[in-house]
Amino acid sequence: MAREKGGFWVGVAAAIFYPGTRLLAKRTFVGRDKLPAEGAALLVGNHISHLDPPYTAVFVHQAKRVPRFMAKDSLWKIPVLGPILRGTGQIPVRRGSADARNSLEAADKALADGKIVTIYPEGTLTKDPDFWPMVSRTGVARLAVEHCLDGSVPVIPLAHWGTHRVWDHKRKRLGLFPRKTVVVRIGDPLDMSRFQGRAVDNELLREVTDYLMSEVRDLLADVRGEKAPTEFYSPRKARNGTKREGGE
């Protein structure tokens, strides 16, 4: 299988991320054969650490594909990282209705062009104290409804585990010893046909989002060897004295 052409900046990123991720932790990659050898795919993942994207990037690149991540636009302002993000075709996400729409249009184009797009629907690192996925934004559902209901573009759940132990973002602490293991695992493509023929409204977008993140959560539960909560952590409800909402 020929490698998808990436260009100079993909080579630069690979030269940094391959040894960097290996240095920081032991890597366990599971399910890489489930990625399509060519054509578009939407990877939907949980988000527990700022280190999630480098490990997933290596995972996808080892499958001879070039990943495109949807990531907050402030990262484009960081020296060295900014040129890499621009040069590798990553997708900046800007807050605000018009800007968010532009970000989704860029992701739409990437999928239409046959690229692999990775999205973290939570929009930020999970605030769940136990690192389960929290209530997510519905942008992922808009992409899925637009591209994935007929099965032509697979939606694939993605789970990260262990990156939060390498970099503790709350304490701003790097944990290299004892040596940690980072797991990146993808599951089987999801059957989206259940949503075909439905009117695209807020109810559908919420339902699709919760379905996708429920599948991600269940995959993460397998990785962790633990039982997942039946509802998603809600920062809004936590402020009001409860913690969870939604889910399947």
- Cis peptide before 178, with omega less than 30 degrees from 0? yes
CB 122 within 8 A of CB 246: no
Q: In the prediction, which pLDDT does 80 show?
A: 87
Q: What is the pTM of this model?
A: 0.93
Q: Residue 127 — very low, low, confident or very high, per pLDDT cuts 50/70/90?
A: very high
Q: In the prediction, which pLDDT does 88 show?
A: 96
Helix residue spans in the chain (DSSP H): 8-24, 52-62, 81-87, 97-112, 139-147, 163-166, 202-224, 235-239
Range of the domain at 48: 8-245
Q: How far apart are CA 191 and CA 180, in angstroms?
A: 34
Does residue 225 fall inside a structural domain? Answer: yes
Task: Identify the residue whose tokens are 């797009």.
Answer: 117
Q: Residue 243 — very low, low, confident or very high, per pLDDT cuts 50/70/90?
A: low
Q: What is the pLDDT of residues 48-101, one digit of tens each?
A: 999 999 999 999 999 999 999 999 899 999 988 999 999 999 999 886 655 666
φ, ψ for residue 98, nearest 5 deg = -70, -45
φ, ψ for residue 118, nearest 5 deg = -110, 130
Nearest CA to 71 out of 84, 58, 62 is that of 84
Sign of CA dihedral 189, 25, 176, 51: negative
Mean per-residue pLDDT for 228-243?
Answer: 85
Among the listed ranges 15-19, 64-68, 110-114, 244-248, which one has the minimum average pLDDT value? 244-248
Does residue 216 fall inside a structural domain? Answer: yes
Does residue 39 fall inside a structural domain? Answer: yes
Q: In the prediction, which pLDDT does 244 show?
A: 63
> CATH number of the domain that 172 lies in?
3.40.1130.10
Does residue 1 fall inside a structural domain? Answer: no
Total domain count, the chain:
1
Does residue 83 fall inside a structural domain? Answer: yes
Does residue 2 fall inside a structural domain? Answer: no
Does residue 130 fall inside a structural domain? Answer: yes
Does residue 222 fall inside a structural domain? Answer: yes
